[in-house]
Structure 1
Amino acid sequence: MTTPSELRLLPWSGPGDKPCYLSTDDPAGYMSRLADGIEAVQLSTASELVEEASEALDNQDTSIDEMRCLITELTGALRDVFRIATSRGRLLATSDPRESAY
């Protein structure tokens, strides 16, 4: 039986907003690559939102409605980034330190 520490937390949720996990020995498999691609998109989106937020904060003409919309988008992006960090932290904790390249 695979323990939770050996599972990869995927960058999407299942029904009822429950976490989804992947159990595989193939980090280059289809589902692993799909998860990697989605994580890359999520990180890129978060980066773009940080830039947009910086510009909005500098702009005195940014409306309250625009700020609320931006905060909503930033909250979702932060949730995605936190999930990615949690997933990668678990992967690091279960990997063999002798395999990492410096």
Structure 2
Amino acid sequence: MNERLLPWTGPEEKPCYLIGDGTGYVSRVADQVETVQLGMAGGLLAHATELLAEQPQLTREELRYLVRRLSESLKEVKRIADSRGARLRDLPESVAEDVKTPDAAPTTG
């Protein structure tokens, strides 16, 4: 049995955990929520980049709103990264080494 940090919080913003083998209904819902959160983060980042390029003189209110949304999104993405990192650490050593070893060398260009 493994413990998984879920991509949402409970009362008072306390973390929620799932104990299980990662194949149940709640795990599948958590995977779907993570996918949505990551997609929204990518969309928000693209919007922020475009907004800052097109309107370099944002009002104070616009900038505060953008920073709040980016902060919320970054908190969600960090929770996902923490959860996935913890699950990778829990993998058996033989599997963990396969995950850590890239199939091909990274390219630049």
Give the structure 2 partner of residue 39 of structure 1. 34
Size of the aligned set, in residue pairs, is 97
Give the structure 2 partner of residue 54 of structure 1. 49
Give 1:49 shift.
0.7
TM-score (norm 2): 0.80
Q: What are structure 1's unaligned runs of at least 5 residues?
A: none
Give the structure 2 partner of residue 63 of structure 1. 59
Paired residues of 1:12 and 1:19 also in contact (CA < 8 A): yes
Q: Tell me the amino acid that sits aligned with residue 32 of structure 1.
A: S
> Relative contact order (alpha carbons < 8 A, sep ≥ 6): 1 or 2 greater?
1
TM-score (norm 1): 0.85
Give the structure 1 partner of residue 84 of structure 2. 88
1:72 to 61, 68, 74: 68
Q: Deviations over 1:27-70 (max 9, x none)?
A: 22100000000000000010001001101111235332222111
Q: What are structure 2's unaligned runs of at least 5 residues?
A: 104-109
Paired residues of 1:12 and 1:20 also in contact (CA < 8 A): yes
Q: Which of structures 1 and 2 has the bigger CA Rg?
A: 2
State the superposition RMSD in angstroms.
1.7
